[in-house]
Structure 1
């Protein structure tokens, strides 16, 4: 674990314990990205060459016995959100950051995955809105955490497609697959050449 990751891991774990009174069951991580070649070609069925970077989003999570999902966003002054897996998931007009979590959870459910209730703390060290894919990193990290809590394993390319669906269909940002795919599939020391026609 790099010093950057260790600091973020400690931050999100402490926030989780302060909010929920215990250590998390797991911490999921998803990196941001830079793109080397191929701007605006992912949503035009072209080629892109992104690579994952060190800054990331981490999601500390524990399973709940009910169907509720309780979230604390460390980077938004510990703002909180809550919703229920058995009720229709709506957008949160008062807290737009929560839509990325809600959208990812709903997209996982629509993809046929039976999720469990969860307590979640989220923190990241990616600058928001800086073109480093903080939203895709958040979606992928939430997806990894929710699937792990439910003991579900899926292909990382499929996870990226579900995350893209969350951003396009729930949040309302029309985006290609590049950001989510490199966040889900990135490997240290490598760039990732993506043919967006076939993945």
Structure 2
């Protein structure tokens, strides 16, 4: 259970018998369109949301990082800075902390001993990047305390390295980069090869609604890594660095050249890249009808070609679509196999969407869905410092 910032300050004081000097924040994210394109060097269109991970910190004068995790029953971890960083065998959350420490050390950053208290309200296991919010907040924390200048893009890359090489999930750069570079009131079109970010204003008449199906999914050790390997096999077949380098014309005879499964994986990524660029243009032009069509096509591609949706997710998308039509858009968001649906909903239909989900979803699947009405928010920041 997450704490308020005031409660986190109280925990820090009671646990470490000291007051905190620094407060860092990094947000979760929702991806409007562009799924499984990021690790293919492609394009994504996420926005940071007003759900955050908070880290309170102070230097402790020791060669040791001490951490208390408020959201895990105040579990603690200690990380000596003069020893090889090993995996924590019992606490998965601790491996994200250790992974960021290791990644920074391997970049030659000389870290300083510190005490940390961590809490956040980004729903976990829902596809809203609670792990990336933690990694980015920690990267900003450790580099600031060590007085080592590092850009937000570098901090995002550090978080990705921690997740890929220490935690063991081959995620792309999108989650960490939007947590670092989010802009209030905007989605951000990200080129995952160059890391260029372009703000795209969100239409004022639409709410960002996130529906957590409460079908839990874990990406580590799941089908996620399989999908990535299939995409790499497709790129190797075409002799390109990544699927980003193909367009729809290049894959015209794809089913003659690849096995059925790999062909469908490749087709999803190539067409999803095209949809993402078109969606950014539609969003900038306030062309909601086109955006609606692109989000629907994206969901169908994830369902049929990439095969990462599940029945409860497909049902929620269909239900929301029946309410909003072409006045908004709806699709699965995140890595897949559960998690969340994102919908851009006219303000006057938000209550109806909530009511219809509450009335129908539990009856069909025996689950309660959590509905969050979010605001596109700013990225990571130092909230307070001495």
Same fold (TM over 0.5): yes
Q: Secondary structure at the match of 1:112?
A: coil
Kindly tell me the number of residue pairs found equivalent between the two proteins.
193
Partner of 2:232: none
Match for 2:5 among 9, 12, 15? 9
Q: How does 1:1-199 map to 2 (within 5 A)?
A: 8-199=4-195
Alignment partners' CA distance in 2, 1:174 and 1:130:
17
Alignment partners' CA distance in 2, 1:8 and 1:178:
27
Alignment partners' CA distance in 1, 2:62 and 2:24:
21
Alignment partners' CA distance in 1, 2:45 and 2:15:
39
Point out the structure with max Rg over C-alpha: 2
Alignment partners' CA distance in 2, 1:60 and 1:66:
17
Identify the structure with the greater helix proportion.
2
Structure 1 gap segments, 5+ residues each? 1-6
Q: CA deviation at 1:13?
A: 1.4
Higher relative contact order (CA 8 A, sep 6+): 1
**Does the CA contact (< 8 Å) of 1:61 and 1:119 recur in 2?**
yes
Point out 4+ residue stretches in structure 1 off by more than 6 angstroms. Answer: none
- TM-superposition CA deviations, 1:21-65 (whole Å, max 9, x none): 111110110000000110110011110011000010001011021
Structure 2 gap segments, 5+ residues each? 196-386
Alignment partners' CA distance in 1, 2:9 and 2:141:
14
Q: Secondary structure at the match of 2:55?
A: strand
Q: CA deviation at 1:11?
A: 2.5
RMSD of equivalent CA atoms? 1.0
Alignment partners' CA distance in 1, 2:9 and 2:119:
9
Alignment partners' CA distance in 2, 1:186 and 1:54:
11
